[in-house]
């Protein structure tokens, strides 16, 4: 893990790093090297490690006293293949998108696990570890949480349905918050209810709100914070 540069703004220290060609960002409360809970942030499809949803979430995590880390997912951010960016290409169908996410997860899961090892060697991630990711973030986070026992609580949601997710959910026993949009134009309602049902966790909570895929209400971010505080602090 090579740390590239470090900047501190408004009480948050942001460090960029590269590990085996995977670029990432580590956020911590400024000037503080205490051991603290660590939250892994999985970005959505087409997004990247420094998208506004990621930096906003990282700021909330440091305000809770947590460290946060994001990686560019395969094919995203600094890992995007410019030659693949052909405008005019048709959008993938939901099934193609779910399959592409499942394929990405096969690379992304070991990348996240290697990141946890490397951060541990730098003194991070020795306390409780959580994961937050919806849509593609959940497509990667659910198989990750099934494999990685260091993750002890997770916020997932809006995952495009894929058989591999149901199988992974059945192996997950940690506390889960699952977010769904009641009128999601991309994810069938029944598939979200079935995925929530599949988690083996005895402590899991489903939150559903009206509106489209992208219309998750802002009060859910407060609720995510309460969930993470309850399980990681």
Pull the structure tokens for residue 9. Answer: 């703004």
Q: According to the binding rule CB under 8 A, does residue 223 interact with a second copy?
A: yes
Contact assessment for residue 27 and residue 37, using Cβ atoms and an 8 Å cutoff: no
Nearer to a second copy, 164 or 201 (CB): 201
Nearer to a second copy, 21 or 218 (CB): 218
3-class secondary structure per residue, the chain: CEEEEEEEECCEEEEEEEECCEEEEEEEECCCCCCCCEEEEECCCCCCCCCHHHHHHHHHHHHCCCEEEEECCCCCHHHCCHHHCCCCCCCCCHHHHHHHHHHHHHHHHHHHHHHHHHHHHCCCCCCCEEEEEECHHHHHHHHHHHHCCCEEEEEEECCCCCHHHHHHHCCCCCCEEEEEECCCCCCCHHHHHHHHHHCCCCCEEEEEECCCCCCCCCHHHHHHHHHHHHHHC
Q: Min. distance of Cβ 218 from a second copy in angstroms?
A: 10
Q: According to the binding rule CB under 8 A, does residue 230 interact with a second copy?
A: yes
Among 6, 20, 95, 197, contact with a second copy (rule: CB under 8 A): 197
Q: According to the binding rule CB under 8 A, does residue 19 interact with a second copy?
A: no
Q: Min. distance of Cβ 209 from a second copy in angstroms?
A: 5
Instruction: Give the binding-site size for a second copy (rule: CB under 8 A).
Output: 20
Q: According to the binding rule CB under 8 A, does residue 205 interact with a second copy?
A: yes
Q: According to the binding rule CB under 8 A, does residue 48 interact with a second copy?
A: no
Among 97, 112, 156, 196, contact with a second copy (rule: CB under 8 A): 196
Q: According to the binding rule CB under 8 A, does residue 43 interact with a second copy?
A: no
Q: Min. distance of Cβ 196 from a second copy in angstroms?
A: 7
Q: Min. distance of Cβ 52 from a second copy in angstroms?
A: 23
Among 203, 212, 214, 233, contact with a second copy (rule: CB under 8 A): 203
Pull the structure tokens for residue 67. Answer: 């460290």
Q: According to the binding rule CB under 8 A, does residue 217 interact with a second copy?
A: yes
Q: According to the binding rule CB under 8 A, does residue 170 interact with a second copy?
A: no
CA distance 79 to 188: 30
Q: Which stretch binds a second copy (CB under 8 A): 96-104, 115-123, 133-141, 222-230?
A: 222-230
- Measure CA 233 to chain center: 19
* Residues engaged in binding a second copy (CB under 8 A): 182, 193, 196-197, 201-210, 217, 219, 222-223, 226, 230
């Amino acid at each position: 893990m090579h740390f590239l540069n470090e900047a501190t703004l408004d009480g948050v220290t942001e460090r960029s790093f590269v590990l085996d060609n995977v670029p990432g960002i580590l956020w911590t409360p400024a000037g503080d090297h205490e051991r603290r809970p660590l939250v892994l942030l999985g970005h959505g499809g087409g997004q990247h490690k420094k998208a506004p949803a990621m930096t906003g979430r990282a700021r909330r995590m440091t305000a809770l006293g947590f460290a946060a880390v994001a990686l560019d997912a395969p094919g995203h951010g600094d890992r995007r293949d410019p030659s693949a960016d052909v405008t005019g290409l048709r959008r993938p169908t939901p099934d193609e998108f779910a399959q592409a996410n499942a394929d990405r997860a096969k690379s992304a899961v070991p990348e996240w696990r290697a990141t946890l090892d490397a951060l541990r060697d730098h003194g991070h991630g020795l306390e409780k570890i959580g994961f937050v990711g919806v849509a593609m973030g959940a497509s990667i986070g659910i198989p990750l949480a099934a494999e990685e026992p260091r993750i002890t609580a997770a916020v997932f949601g809006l995952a495009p349905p894929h058989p591999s997710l149901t199988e992974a959910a059945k192996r997950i026993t940690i506390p889960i918050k699952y977010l769904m949009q009641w009128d999601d134009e991309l994810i069938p309602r029944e598939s979200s209810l079935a995925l929530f049902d599949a988690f083996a966790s005895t402590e899991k909570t489903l939150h559903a709100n009206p509106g489209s895929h992208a219309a998750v209400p802002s009060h859910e971010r407060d609720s995510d914070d309460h969930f993470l505080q309850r399980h990681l602090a």
